[in-house]
């Protein structure tokens, strides 16, 4: 019997905080024998076109994807969007809003760092981030390059880590609103790695808010968690997804890529549901 085709639906590239370019990801996917991938960078799908162009010759399918940061009852949470229409003006606008939000927040943290006596400016930080959305990593890199710390970890421990002295929380859009937006753009909304931070009450809340499914297969989910989320999805007729969450930072991640994957029937079902949203 031929092995079941597999896809990795959770991958980061240099378009956000991954180490590999979209082209390298596609080459790796071909090498590892995957039939499809979704590039799910944080709050951007800038890597999609490059990945798809490169994948055409290799016969790899690239599904539109993105890992959206949103607010769930005051907490930051990650939602995976798949299959949405790439050029949809509402989606383009949403991604722009996410970028602006990060810019404003960076300015707040820079101002906090200035108050603490560090001479760092937004220009220096944007020189570091280039076309990417600004993250705390870029601020930390500038602090190190200006000699205020010997390494980034030190900057996080003292100033930029969650609730540290210069930290500023981003106010993200509510998950219920983001789910609706993804639907209007012809895509599906999946809660990323629920086992990391969600309890049953949250799961029920999100099902009521019309989430389309849960990421059942993720490196942070042991078999018990995989089984739990698969059961929840099956009981509620929701989509099951999964992937390696590859960032390419550690050697161990290279074995997860092409190993933590899902079967084609899950992907096919997901694309069918996207088609239903596109008809409305």
Residues that bind ligand AMP in the complex, under the rule CB under 6 A: 17, 135-137, 153, 156, 161
Return the closest-CA partner of residue 50 out of 79, 22, 10, 25. Answer: 22
Listed in sequence order, the residues at least 6 apart from 111 whose beta carbon sits closer than 8 Å to its beta carbon are none
CB of 156 to ligand AMP, least distance (A): 3
* Residue closer to ligand AMP (CB basis): 121 or 265: 121
The CA distance from 235 to 173, in Å, is: 29
Contact 271, 83 (CB under 8 A): yes
Residue nearest Mn ion by beta-carbon distance: 78
78 contributes a contact to Mn ion by CB under 5 A: yes
Going edge to edge, which strands form the sheet with 61-63?
Answer: 61-63, 36-39, 6-11, 262-263
Query: Could you tell which of Mn ion, ligand AMP, none binds residue 161, using a CB distance below 5 to 8 A set by kind?
Result: ligand AMP
Displacement of CA 86 from its chain's centroid (Å)? 16
The CA distance from 86 to 95, in Å, is: 11
Phi-psi label, residue 169: left if phi above 0, alpha if psi -120 to 50, beta otherwise: beta
CB of 146 to Mn ion, least distance (A): 25
Q: What is the per-residue binding string for Mn ion in 156-195, x denoting contact by CB under 5 A?
A: ------------------------------------x---
245 contributes a contact to Mn ion by CB under 5 A: yes
Return the closest-CA partner of residue 138 out of 181, 98, 180, 106. Answer: 106
Q: Give 175-205 as a DSSP string.
A: HHHHHHHHHHTT-EEEES-GGGT--HHHHHH
17 contributes a contact to Mn ion by CB under 5 A: yes
Query: Could you tell which of Mn ion, ligand AMP, none binds residue 78, using a CB distance below 5 to 8 A set by kind?
Result: Mn ion
**CA end-to-end span of the chain:** 39
Query: Could you tell which of Mn ion, ligand AMP, none binds residue 156, using a CB distance below 5 to 8 A set by kind?
Result: ligand AMP
* Residue closer to ligand AMP (CB basis): 74 or 87: 74
| Stretch of 50-58, 62-70, 172-180, 203-211 contacting Mn ion, by CB under 5 A | 62-70
Token couple for 241: 């997804």
Query: Could you tell which of Mn ion, ligand AMP, none binds residue 50, using a CB distance below 5 to 8 A set by kind?
Result: none
Q: What is the per-residue binding string for Mn ion in 193-232, x denoting contact by CB under 5 A?
A: ----------------------------------------
102 contributes a contact to Mn ion by CB under 5 A: no
What is the contact surface with Mn ion in residues (CB under 5 A)?
17, 67, 78, 192, 245
């Amino acid at each position: 019997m031929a092995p079941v085709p597999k896809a990795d639906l959770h991958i980061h590239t240099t378009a956000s905080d991954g180490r590999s370019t979209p082209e390298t990801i596609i080459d790796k996917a071909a090498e590892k024998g995957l039939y499809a991938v979704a590039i799910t960078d944080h709050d951007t799908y800038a890597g999609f076109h490059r990945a798809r162009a490169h994948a055409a010759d290799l016969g790899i399918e690239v599904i539109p994807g993105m890992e959206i940061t949103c607010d769930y009852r005051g907490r930051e949470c990650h939602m995976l969007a798949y299959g949405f229409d790439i050029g949809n003006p509402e989606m383009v606008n949403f991604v722009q809003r996410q970028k602006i939000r990060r810019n404003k927040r960076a300015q707040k943290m820079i101002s906090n760092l200035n108050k603490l006596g560090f001479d760092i400016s937004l220009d220096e930080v944007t020189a570091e981030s280039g076309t990417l959305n600004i993250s705390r990593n870029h601020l930390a890199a500038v602090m190190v390059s200006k000699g205020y710390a010997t390494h980034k970890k030190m900057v996080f421990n003292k100033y930029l880590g969650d609730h540290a002295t210069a930290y500023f929380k981003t106010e993200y859009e509510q998950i219920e609103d983001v789910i609706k937006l993804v639907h209007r753009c012809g895509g599906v909304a999946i809660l990323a790695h629920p086992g990391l931070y969600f309890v049953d009450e949250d799961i029920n809340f999100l099902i009521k808010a019309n989430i389309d499914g849960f990421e059942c297969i993720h490196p942070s989910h042991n078999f018990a968690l995989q089984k739990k989320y698969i059961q929840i999805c099956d009981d509620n007729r929701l989509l099951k997804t999964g992937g390696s969450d590859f960032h390419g930072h550690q050697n161990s991640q290279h074995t997860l890529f092409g190993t933590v994957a899902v079967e084609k029937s899950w992907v096919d079902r997901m694309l069918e549901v996207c088609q239903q949203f596109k008809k409305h």
